[in-house]
Amino acid sequence: MIRIALLMSLAVASVSYAADSEEFRCLEGAKDPAPYKPGNVVRWCEIWKDGRLLYHGSVWRWYRSGQMEGKEFYVYGNAEGEWPSWYENGKPSSLGTFKNGNKTGLWKYWDEAGWLKTEVTYSETGNLLTEYYPTGQKKATGESLRSGKIGVWTYWDARGTEKAKCDFGNGLFALPTKPCQIIANELEPKGFSQPVPVVTTNPDSKAIIAIASQMYQLQIPPGWVADTKVGKDEQAPLVFYPKGGSWRGIEPNIYIRVLYKNGTSFN
């Protein structure tokens, strides 16, 4: 029997910038403490803010051979803008965009020979992934979250013939078919997704958490708000806080987090 713990805990309590990857520059107030000299492996812009030393502007990296490794950009320590990177042989390694510290939109990844290996379109709801064979033939496509695969995945052989297809839905407790097992074992990210909690609220002041076939109903405290969005980055699908307050504010919060016990029982 699969067992799940719903962990309830009490807790008390950006800016965007498009970087020009061809120009090394520091943002206002930042300094360049190590101007480039032959043999350097990193050059960066830094600024003190709230008692911390943060990247603020360009950060460029080189291999010891002198080949450029990557061009990064930050705004007060958060990754921002276009980030290209290269292998030591000069071939591209990856290219994509950050926004407020998170990958966003289309990212491309190549192997050391220069062949396109993977494309990932990042979004808040899930990441659409496409893998390719060195010939350029599509190998697999599907959607993933941090915990693994979700939705429909399709896998082709090198000739373009469909090899396997599986609908992972919002995650599976067990792999129901051989095609699902093939996809889970052979494609990145390896393995299958643990079920993703789906939360709904209703007018009766109740919150319902669905985890695969299992359902959990919670009473919303009187005078509190049930929020299904603010805790996503911290894997908290449901957060309660007093009306007029906020998640991680100075007032008490309650958050729900799902813990998978891998088949072990609760004592």
Q: What is the pLDDT of residues 24-80, one digit of tens each?
A: 999 999 999 989 888 899 999 999 999 999 999 999 999 999 999 999 999 999 999
Contacts of 240 (CB under 8 A, 6+ apart): 220, 221, 224, 225, 226, 227, 253, 254, 255
In terms of domains, do 228 and 155 share one?
no
Final residue before a domain boundary, out of 136, 164, 186: 186
- Asked if the structure places residue 5 within a domain, the reply is no
In terms of domains, do 148 and 61 share one?
yes
Give φ, ψ of 214 to 5 degrees: -100, 145
In 3D space, the residue among 219, 265, 226 whose CA is nearest the CA of residue 245 turns out to be: 226
Residues 209/215, Cβ–Cβ less than 8 Å: yes
Residues 27/44, Cβ–Cβ less than 8 Å: no
Is residue 212 helix, strand or coil?
coil
Domain span at 236: 198-260
Residues 62/31, Cβ–Cβ less than 8 Å: no
Residue 145 has pLDDT above 80, yes or no: yes
Q: What is the pLDDT of residues 166-207, one digit of tens each?
A: 999 888 878 889 999 999 988 887 876 788 888 998 877 899
Q: What's the rounded mean pLDDT across residues 94-116?
A: 97
Give φ, ψ of 47 to 5 degrees: -150, 145
Give the total number of structural domains in the chain.
2
- Asked if the structure places residue 230 within a domain, the reply is yes
Looking at the DSSP bridge assignments, the partners of residue 132 are 138
In this predicted structure, what is the pLDDT of residue 65?
95
In terms of domains, do 202 and 182 share one?
no
Q: What's the rounded mean pLDDT across residues 1-10?
A: 42
Q: What is the pLDDT of residues 109-127, one digit of tens each?
A: 999 999 999 999 999 888 9
- Asked if the structure places residue 265 within a domain, the reply is no
CA–CA gap between residue 55 and residue 23 (Å, rounded): 16
Final residue before a domain boundary, out of 155, 186, 217: 186
Final residue before a domain boundary, out of 154, 186, 218: 186
